[in-house]
A and B are shown apart, each in its own frame.
Chain A
Amino acid sequence: MDQIRVQGVTHTYKSGVTALYDLDLTVEKGEFVFIIGSTGCGKSTLGKLLYRELKPTKGTILVGGINVGKIPNRKVYKIRRKMGVVFQDYKLLDKLTVYENVAFALEIFGLPKDEIHEKVVKALELVGLKNKLKMYPRELSGGEQQRVAIARAIVNGPKLLICDEPTGNLDPKTSMEVMTVLDEINKLGTTILMVTHDINIVDKMKKRTVLLNAGRVLKDYAEGEYTK
């Protein structure tokens, strides 16, 4: 069964700029897909449509069988609980420790303390930060901060992880460290859709890659097919 099914989606911003034109895309469960393209090709818009920060102007977007475009604003949280989202700017709370930043997502759901602790430690272990639980984001490097953000995104065990330029602020070496973490998460069964403009990473990872151009799919490379 497919995890994401985008059918005939067009998105026009209020300013009148159309970012996506009649886009079709299917992502199977457990896949790792890169969305690449030049600035303004609509790749970030696609990400925002998937985690329902935006609504499509036309077409349907099914995530795990749910038509996310039809979800009213006040119910968006329901779909957000089923997916993890990672951003270029990490979006961590500076005044919370690493542990608290990750636990934050679970506390909202009212999970028992022990369960929260178990899940948080497990998620931080997976991203290699188990020894930095009590540190604050400002005490960590960029790569480490992004790994905390990834831990927060996966702590609830989502089936889908959407990454919007997660390596955008990182140097090549640190970027690869983050990619290794994401690859491991993918191997554990989480579908990953990553929007990026860093073709070096895409080249090294050898995953399925969708190239967008001016709001349309220009080419859909199968695993290992894409080269710089």
Chain B
Amino acid sequence: MKTFRILGRNIRDSFRGVWRNLSLSLASISCITITLIVVSIAMILSANVNNFTSQIEKDVTIVVFLDQNIEEDDIDSLYYDIDTIQYVESITFKGKDEIAGEMMEASETYDSIMSNWTHEDNPLQDTYLVKVTDIDHIAEVAKEIGYLENVSVVKYGEGMVEELVSIFDMIKNVTIVIVIALILVTAFLIANTIKITIDSRRREIEIMRLVGASNINIKIPFIFEGLVLGVIGSIIPIIITCYGYAALYTRLHGQLFSSIIKLIVPEPFMYNVSLLLLVIGMVVGMVGSLRAVKKYLKI
């Protein structure tokens, strides 16, 4: 009962503290708001870049052309041979007749030429389409497949894929570094602003000590206050994230520049970002308060 009363008092006092020191509270809140907006933008950008790169990565396929005169049994055994290679995710067989059919469907010219081909006449080659679990290892997988019997040619867009992979890796790393740096800067800024807020209340802490408040008694209301500042400060960034991203998504029809670059669907993505913003706001608010209060506590 006593604990609940103390807890209730702390919650009440934290709101009162925010209200009574309104100008400084507003400084902390606006600092949290502005930095969280920047963090939100960085997170949305980074998540979309990651999403885009992983989409592209998924589409990259190794095409294994089989020897012209390969036997049916050898086609099957080759499947198992490819399957034993590390990083192979999926293997799909595409026979030469199927390829010819697709080509004929795509173009009338092809259709007129190829429609007379029988299975034996068809000069195209049977293929296996191989997807890898990790695009970084595509070159070695392709190389290993190349060594297998009955494989005539292996293609996966050599050169271009490697370049793409290295660009994506770079973009990913850069965005991750930017997001982490922003979060750290935010934490630092907020912690310092809250510190100034609490520095102005050292008298209150001094009096609390005098009337017999223990360190924990003193710390808790300020930690709650930091939490409240963090929560209030994250409201506007959350609204901007939810409405802003949803509006952007609708306006751009879910894609950027071309249909290749697809944006992440707003739900539940924007809720996850909002939750993260709230958590960052709360944690940073609490840590900032705690740091500031500790300065005035004789421990």
Using a CB–CB cutoff of 8 Å, the interface residues on chain A facing chain B are: 51, 73-74, 76-78, 80-81, 85, 91-93, 95, 104-105, 107-112, 152, 156
A107 to B20, CA, bound (A): 18
Q: How large is the interface on B (under 10, 10 to 19, 20 to 34, 35 or more residues)?
A: 20 to 34
6 A-B contact pairs sorted by A residue (CB < 8 Å):
A77-B212, A91-B207, A108-B212, A111-B5, A112-B5, A156-B212
Using a CB–CB cutoff of 8 Å, the interface residues on chain B facing chain A are: 2-3, 5-6, 9, 20, 203-204, 206-215, 217, 298-299
A residues less than 8 Å from B207 (CB atoms) = 91-93, 104
- Also in contact, A73 and B298, with CB within 8 A (given A91-B206, A110-B3, A110-B9): yes
B5 touches A80 (CB 8 A): no
B residues less than 8 Å from A107 (CB atoms) = 9
A104 to B6, CA, bound (A): 12
B204 touches A93 (CB 8 A): yes
CB distance from A107 to the nearest CB of B (A): 5
CB distance from B210 to the nearest CB of A (A): 6
A residues less than 8 Å from B299 (CB atoms) = 73-74
A residues less than 8 Å from B208 (CB atoms) = 104, 108
A76 touches B298 (CB 8 A): yes
CB distance from A192 to the nearest CB of B (A): 17
A residues less than 8 Å from B3 (CB atoms) = 110
B217 touches A108 (CB 8 A): yes
B residues less than 8 Å from A77 (CB atoms) = 209, 212-215, 217
A20 to B9, CA, bound (A): 42
B210 touches A80 (CB 8 A): yes
B210 touches A74 (CB 8 A): no
A112 to B9, CA, bound (A): 11
